[in-house]
Amino acid sequence: MENANNYCIVFVTIDSLESAQRMSRVIVNEKLAACCTILPNSISIYGWKGTLHERSEQVIMIKTLESKLIALKDRILEIHNDEVPEIISINLNSGLSSYLNWISTSLLEENE
């Protein structure tokens, strides 16, 4: 397994499968993510503005480079429908070299 310090997984929750698919298509198409995996039918229970809430959500697991994080976060904030969306990133310690290489290659700009 190769050192993967420049790679990360970003987790975003969103209210519907359609919204998750739409967001995933946008960020992959714009080369902010190599891949988005949608984990459907999660339930979140959380406090918001003094009230307990419970809702069905989709979790998007976004594979990207650390260098894309700021642009990715900004783009998610533009298209997400929550006032304060969950955007959490985790840096990788290691990963399969060929998979990490695929992420890097997928995120190259057309002129690179």
Mean pLDDT score, 95-108: 94
**Within the chain, where are the H helices?**
17-29, 69-79, 97-106
Mean pLDDT score, 91-107: 94
Q: Which helix (H) or strand (E) holds 7?
A: strand 7-14
Q: Which domains, and CATH codes, for the chain?
A: 2-106 (3.30.70.120)
pLDDT at 2: 66
pLDDT at 72: 98
Structure tokens at 36: 């988005």
Mean pLDDT score, 22-26: 98
Task: Using the CB atoms, write b or e for 8-46: b if 16+ within 10 Å.
Answer: bbbebbbbeeebbeebbebbbeebbbbebeeeeeeeeee
111 has a pLDDT exceeding 60: no
Mean pLDDT score, 14-32: 97
pLDDT at 85: 95
pLDDT band at 50 (very low <50, low <70, confident <90, very high): very high
CA neighbor of 107 nearest in space, from 68, 61, 60, 62: 68
The model's pTM: 0.92
pLDDT mean across residues, the chain: 93
